[in-house]
Structure 1
Amino acid sequence: MSGFCSLVIPFELSFFFFPFSSLYTLQISYERSEGHLCLPVRYTHSFPEALQKFYRGEFRWLWRQRIRLYLEGTGINPVPVDLHEQQLSLNQHSRAFNIERVHDERPEASGPQLLPVRALNEVFIGESLSSRMSYSWAVAVDNLRRSIPTLKGLASYYEISVDDGPWEKQKSSGLNLCTGTGSKAWSFNINRVATQAVEDVLNIAKRQGNLSLPLNRELVEKVTNEYNESLLYSPEEPKILFSIREPIANRVFSSSRQRCFTSKVCVRSRCWDACMVVDGGTSFEFNDGAIASMMINKEDELRTVLLEQ
């Protein structure tokens, strides 16, 4: 499509299907979505004005970085399942992968394969029960897992290497890797802290350090806001923020860095029924033996319009 037009106007989602075009996005369900990728809400009701501003050049370009993904290893299946088109149960989701594998007559490859999608927001890796869910569904899953004994031990087992460093064994409820665009979404809610937690930590620091620090609500909120704001970064910055969700730490599994900015992340799966989900809509099978490499490449930048109020 990008070879035949200079401007694409998608409605809300499916941004990773346009690899090179300039995007001018419109939010049509602003009551249900923040719409951080879209125009300010008021232009939803006055779209002709937005088009006029675009025609007059009253905007600036924003180059949004995206995550490039490679998949390699034993038994990999590079054929994705579209979660937007298939509302599947957990068992149906697993069967969908098996059906795709039967119809795919290509031999299983062990070398790195560049996947046909780019992550504009995030990549989430984990066992299927967690990886197929957005943040709101993940909260429900957490409650479900606590209430059903057979699900309490369900965790994602994998090895991770950051910036070509040593491999580290980890167990958690999943791994989230986001861009600056996605730092306002699920990643933010995984890492943000509440004022109550900050107040407790400051009180401990005050006691342990014999500090005469005046601890009031204004200070607690200021510290909380500064920390939470540090989790956000510009969509144009060429880096990935990875976050370990609910890490398990013991003598076998470690989590030296639960959150870190990086340029490259490699994950080797040790899971038995896991997925790698791109922007909450495209799912790849990611079971034992599969290795995913994720990085930022300038060739994948998405040029979008930034139109002020």
Structure 2
Amino acid sequence: MLKYGGRLQHSAFAYAALIMHPQASNLSSSLRTMRLSTASKTQLQSSDERSIFAPKKVIILTKLTRMEFERRTHATLNEEQLKYMLARRGSDYSRLLERHEQHHLYLNIVEQELRNAGIETRVVQRFDYDKAAVEWADAVFSAGGDGTFLLAASRVTSSDKPIIGINTDPHGSEGYLCLLRKRSHEHFKDALKRLLDGDFRWTYRQRIRVRLRGDPGRIEHVELHDQQLNIRSSDAWHGMLSERRSGEQNDGSAEELKDTNGEVTLQELALNEVFMGESLSSRVSYYELQVDDGETMKQKSSGITVCTGSSPSVAILPMWKRQGTGSTSWFFNINKLNDQCVSDLLRIIGEELSVPMPYDDKQVVRHICNAFNNRLIFAPDLEKMAFSIRDPIYNLTFRPCVDRGFASKIRVRSRCFDAHLVIDGGAAYKFNDGAEAILEVHPEDALKTVIFR
């Protein structure tokens, strides 16, 4: 056992006394509140624009409900046959139908209230949500959950066009990115009135711009949403997807990858995260990483995730509620500590320093755990990215390095053989040996959203 005396031992005792003091929790809470208030103020004042929302045309992107998915996938079955098939799989037909009807009730209310306000509206599903649809609208509404919001945001490239998310399944979806989150359809009319009255603030969520370098012929784009729809082979799905792709080619709405001197700027901007690594999680990802202008490091791991920030107010939520975007999703869950880890560390510190540590005090352990985890969350308007190395491998060949942190620019060169670069879990690009990705945050790429005062 290592024994330390003098100042170090005194500091250890002082620290132990501080965290065990009944006022320590209040002190830490006050400091945290001050830090969050400052961050929140910065976020709310991210624009000097007047709060004016007066769209003439709105496009509503509605999610594809599970019931719609099943009906279209099994188009040859009638309702009784579909019910029987779902029951054999262990799925609850009645529950799926109930959630389907709840979604469309909420969707109809959103559409009707917008029209009552004199706003022209169009409702589209993802198959018809393209560049032309976005350009037609003055604002974009998403009707679904966070996934639908991300899909809606993926087609909005201008920081001048607002996007507003409506969670149509408050009981089954977190709706973190949505305006009303867990509120039911009864609240939408008042919410729309507040928007039209200007009783809100604009806020801008930073997004990640990705540039790819390498052989342009090998940069293949894959829509993971389409792959999911094709899990079950179906002529109905194949026909729908083929028709949509054909339409995109004919009307010119599909964005082309623009090759400039061997470099391609991807059309998608990441609102949540960018993942780079082998497609099969059981394989080791091999790549070279450079953070800002630092040294280029060769690494092996389970992949690298780069994310944006999230609302500071989320830091006050319990750990189990912190699901959503950016720093409250990937970055938080990859790096968070749990009570067991903190307790074990306190025990080891006490043994090594020969000082009593409150490793068995659940309240103290929870307080320290929350203090660490809260520091993983940062504001969505911060012009920085947070990176996390998942399960890094360290040995004599691959030396230890910083496995998480913040950066303004990240460069990754792939040494993988079956890897992808994935944006917000929806769009994927092949990212194999020799391909290079440059990730940056530019203020002009920010997504314009609203929050209530």
Deviation at 1:115, TM superposition (A): 0.7
> Any conservation in 1 of the 2:347–2:357 contact (CA below 8 Å)?
no
Counterpart selection for 1:48 from 149, 168, 189 = 189
Unaligned runs of 5+ in 1: 90-104, 131-144, 146-153
Deviation at 1:32, TM superposition (A): 3.7
CA–CA distance in structure 1, aligned partners of residues 419 and 450 of structure 2: 36
Unaligned runs of 5+ in 2: 1-132, 232-255, 311-325
- Match in the other structure for 1:19: 157
CA–CA distance in structure 1, aligned partners of residues 201 and 330 of structure 2: 27
Cα offsets for 1:87-132 (capped at 9, x unmatched): 267xxxxxxxxxxxxxxx99987622111110000001110123xx
The answer to whether the aligner puts 1:29 opposite 2:169 as a matched pair is: yes
Cα offsets for 1:239-294 (capped at 9, x unmatched): 10000111111111234011011111100000000000000000000000000000
Deviation at 1:44, TM superposition (A): 4.2
70-79 vs 220-229, greater mean Cα deviation: 70-79
- Match in the other structure for 2:350: 206
- Match in the other structure for 2:421: 276
CA–CA distance in structure 1, aligned partners of residues 428 and 257 of structure 2: 19
The answer to whether the aligner puts 1:188 opposite 2:332 as a matched pair is: yes
- Match in the other structure for 1:92: none
> Any conservation in 2 of the 1:172–1:244 contact (CA below 8 Å)?
yes
CA–CA distance in structure 1, aligned partners of residues 437 and 417 of structure 2: 15
SS of 1:25 mapped into structure 2: strand
> Any conservation in 2 of the 1:170–1:255 contact (CA below 8 Å)?
no
> Any conservation in 1 of the 2:288–2:297 contact (CA below 8 Å)?
yes
**Equivalent residue letter for 2:348:** I
The size of the alignment, in residue pairs, is 273
> Any conservation in 2 of the 1:27–1:44 contact (CA below 8 Å)?
no
Distance 1:160 1:37, change over 3 A: same
> Any conservation in 1 of the 2:219–2:431 contact (CA below 8 Å)?
no
CA–CA distance in structure 1, aligned partners of residues 410 and 400 of structure 2: 15
> Any conservation in 2 of the 1:74–1:290 contact (CA below 8 Å)?
yes
Q: Larger C-alpha radius of gyration, 1 or 2?
A: 2
Counterpart selection for 1:6 from 138, 153, 165 = 138
- Match in the other structure for 1:165: 294
- Using the size of structure 2 for normalisation, the TM-score is 0.57
Deviation at 1:202, TM superposition (A): 1.0
SS of 1:277 mapped into structure 2: strand
Q: 1:257-272 maps to which residues of 2 (within 5 A)?
A: 257-272=402-417
Distance 1:27 1:254, change over 3 A: farther
> Any conservation in 2 of the 1:72–1:109 contact (CA below 8 Å)?
no
Distance 1:3 1:110, change over 3 A: closer
> Any conservation in 2 of the 1:242–1:260 contact (CA below 8 Å)?
yes
Deviation at 1:45, TM superposition (A): 4.0
Q: Indicate the structure with greater helix content.
A: 2
SS of 2:348 mapped into structure 1: helix
Deviation at 1:46, TM superposition (A): 2.1
Distance 1:163 1:108, change over 3 A: closer
Deviation at 1:189, TM superposition (A): 1.2
Cα offsets for 1:129-185 (capped at 9, x unmatched): 23xxxxxxxxxxxxxx4xxxxxxxx20000000002211011111110000031111
> Any conservation in 2 of the 1:43–1:49 contact (CA below 8 Å)?
no
Deviation at 1:75, TM superposition (A): 6.0
Identity across aligned pairs (percent)? 41
Distance 1:251 1:33, change over 3 A: farther
> Any conservation in 1 of the 2:257–2:264 contact (CA below 8 Å)?
no
CA–CA distance in structure 2, aligned partners of residues 108 and 238 of structure 1: 26
Q: 1:14-163 maps to which residues of 2 (within 5 A)?
A: 14=151, 15-20=153-158, 21-39=161-179, 40-74=181-215, 77-87=218-228, 111-130=262-281, 145=282, 154-163=283-292
**Equivalent residue letter for 1:37:** L
CA–CA distance in structure 2, aligned partners of residues 30 and 168 of structure 1: 44
Distance 1:108 1:47, change over 3 A: closer
SS of 1:9 mapped into structure 2: strand
CA–CA distance in structure 2, aligned partners of residues 282 and 254 of structure 1: 32
Deviation at 1:71, TM superposition (A): 0.2
> Any conservation in 2 of the 1:74–1:110 contact (CA below 8 Å)?
no
Distance 1:224 1:307, change over 3 A: same
1-10 vs 22-31, greater mean Cα deviation: 1-10
**Equivalent residue letter for 1:205:** I
> Any conservation in 1 of the 2:308–2:386 contact (CA below 8 Å)?
yes
Distance 1:202 1:50, change over 3 A: same
CA–CA distance in structure 2, aligned partners of residues 107 and 185 of structure 1: 31
CA–CA distance in structure 1, aligned partners of residues 354 and 342 of structure 2: 18
Deviation at 1:43, TM superposition (A): 5.0
Note the aligned Cα RMSD (angstroms).
2.4
Distance 1:69 1:82, change over 3 A: same
Greater relative CO, 1 or 2 (CA 8 Å, sep 6+)? 1
CA–CA distance in structure 2, aligned partners of residues 75 and 24 of structure 1: 35
CA–CA distance in structure 1, aligned partners of residues 334 and 414 of structure 2: 21
Deviation at 1:47, TM superposition (A): 1.3
